[in-house]
Amino acid sequence: EVQLVESGGGLVQAGGSLRLSCSASGFSIDEYAIGWFRQAPGKEREGVSCISSSVGSTYAASSVKGRFSISSDNVKNTVYLQMNSLKPEDTAVYYCAAVRFCESNWYRRMAFWGKGTLVTVSS
């Protein structure tokens, strides 16, 4: 069974940092591109960042460029999202997903994803 499990969410103050982890099992992260997307009440699903190790490409939404960075560890079969300079508008449930490519609108076509981890940023 293929599975993605997110962890690392929590409550932080504005300006703080948090690192999210996406642990994969049942498959190798090399087989897919892995992306992070988020959902918040009243907001549309937003693709945050994506990484494709096989082709060495990454994607980051304009709203998080310069603040968030994505990375992968093939040995641990885990993808990370380092979030710095957090803002209240970053508050959302964050999900990681397996996708085919880190292309435009990658988050609209996903193979499977996890249950998410909640990130709450206080002002």
- 58 touches 69 (CB < 8 A): no
Residue 93 in tokens: 């449930």
* DSSP 8-state code for residue 41: T
Can you tell me the distance from the alpha carbon of 64 to that of 42, in angstroms, rounded to the nearest whole number? 19
Q: Is the pLDDT of residue 33 over 90?
A: yes
Is a pLDDT exceeding 90 seen at residue 53?
no
Q: Is the pLDDT of residue 55 over 90?
A: no
Tell me, what's the pLDDT at 71? 96
Tell me the two tokens of residue 12: 């932080």
Residue 77 pLDDT > 90: yes
Q: Could you report the per-residue pLDDT of 102-119, keeping only the tens digit for each?
A: 988 999 999 999 999 999
Q: How far is CA 115 from the centre of its chain?
A: 12
Amino acid at 14: A
Report whether pLDDT(56) > 90: no
Mean pLDDT, all residues of the chain: 96
Question: Using the 8-state DSSP alphabet, how is residue 29 labeled?
Answer: G
**Closest alpha carbon to 18 in 28, 3, 8:** 8
